[in-house]
Amino acid sequence: AEYGDYVSGKRVINAESKQAMRDILTEIQDGRFAKDFILEGQAGYPRMNAERANDKEKLITKTGNSLREMMPWISAGKIVNQETN
């Protein structure tokens, strides 16, 4: 990961992505993010549930789940359970 950061990182984290992160921080700071999340919850989390369903089918998610099953100490203190919250 460290080597990848040195040789590839600037292609991923560039001026455009930094501006996107600033924009997101502004949305968090001015309350838009929280408002959107509350409205999403009031509607039964349709977007979040759709994204979760889509992610379950991705190879990277399946691989991550398999790896975490091999390391039970990772989930021992888990506070988020996608089945209940």
Alpha carbon distance 40, 47 (integer Å): 7
Has residue 81 been placed in a domain? no
Give the number of domains in the chain: 1
pLDDT in tens, 33-44: 999 999 999 999
- Look up the pTM and report it: 0.66
Has residue 54 been placed in a domain? yes
Has residue 84 been placed in a domain? no
Has residue 85 been placed in a domain? no
Burial annotation 5-22 (CB, 10 A radius, 16+ → b, else e): eeeeeeeeeeeeeeeeee
Nearest CA to 82 out of 64, 35, 22 is that of 64
Q: Give the domain extent around 70.
A: 2-75
Has residue 37 been placed in a domain? yes
pLDDT in tens, 42-74: 999 999 999 999 999 999 999 998 998 898 887
Alpha carbon distance 14, 8 (integer Å): 11
Has residue 82 been placed in a domain? no
